[in-house]
Amino acid sequence: MSLPLIFFVNGRKVVEENAEPETSLLEYLRKNLGLKGVKLACGEGGCGACTVMVSRYDHENKKIFHYTVNACLAPVCAMHGLAVTTVEGIGSIKTGLHPVQERISKSFGSQCGYCTPGIVMSMYTLIRNTGQPTTEQIETALEGNLCRCTGYRPILEGFKCFTKKSCGLGENCCMNRKQSDEEQELPSSSAMNASIPPDSTQDPIFPSELQQS
């Protein structure tokens, strides 16, 4: 008797008794779990539209590792014992956008939006791993994500606030503002002024079940 496939998606435990070895993670997320934020574009690992974050607990080093995965290439069976986070898991208009989602929107870094979930997940994974990345780290993290309509400059501009360097807005930078400032009227000259600071409590908690050996 074969064992069920067990993994977590956006903090929810998934137990699949009849996992098909040829089913990709992308297919499973979209068809079985209804997570349509994971996009199918090239289907061969070339565009990054299907990027999700996969997290693994290293029992030896007692550390959680986060990395990006092209869901169109990864077999769902390879997710056994891992935690998958999709763009739906980090924020939404209903539950509140994650700062990464908010910044790509405020910087006009999305047009048709097809590449956006993948770009958001690449950036989100980088932040989970580094806290405050450098501009070079951001550029490297986005190397596997193609965008056909926006162009990369507005996307990179939007993510500048996450770096150690100033974004150029001085004390108006969202990183220098307190949460209570959200309620205040903000100057319309800079859409980025309305950005919310990163809040680690918005990050999905790694499932404790996967930390037990």
Site residues, ligand FES (CB under 6 A): 40-43, 45-50, 70, 72, 110-116, 147-150
Q: Would you say 123 or 173 has its CB closer to ligand FES? A: 123
Q: Would you say 103 or 177 has its CB closer to ligand FES? A: 103
CA 156, 159, 162, 167 torsion: positive or negative? positive
Q: Would you say 105 or 193 has its CB closer to ligand FES? A: 105
Q: How far is CA 191 from each of CA 17, 63, 103, 104, 106, rounded to the nearest angstrom?
A: 48, 38, 9, 11, 6
Rounded to a whole number of angstroms, the minimum distance from the CB of residue 119 to ligand FES is 8
Task: Report the DSSP beta bridge partners of residue 67.
Answer: 54
Q: Torsion angle, CA of 167/170/175/181, rounded to 10 degrees?
A: -140
Rounded to a whole number of angstroms, the minimum distance from the CB of residue 37 to ligand FES is 13
Q: Would you say 90 or 115 has its CB closer to ligand FES? A: 115
Rounded to a whole number of angstroms, the minimum distance from the CB of residue 27 to ligand FES is 11
Rounded to a whole number of angstroms, the minimum distance from the CB of residue 69 to ligand FES is 10
Non-local CB neighbours of 122 within 8 Å, separated by 6+ positions: 48, 51, 68, 141, 142, 144, 145
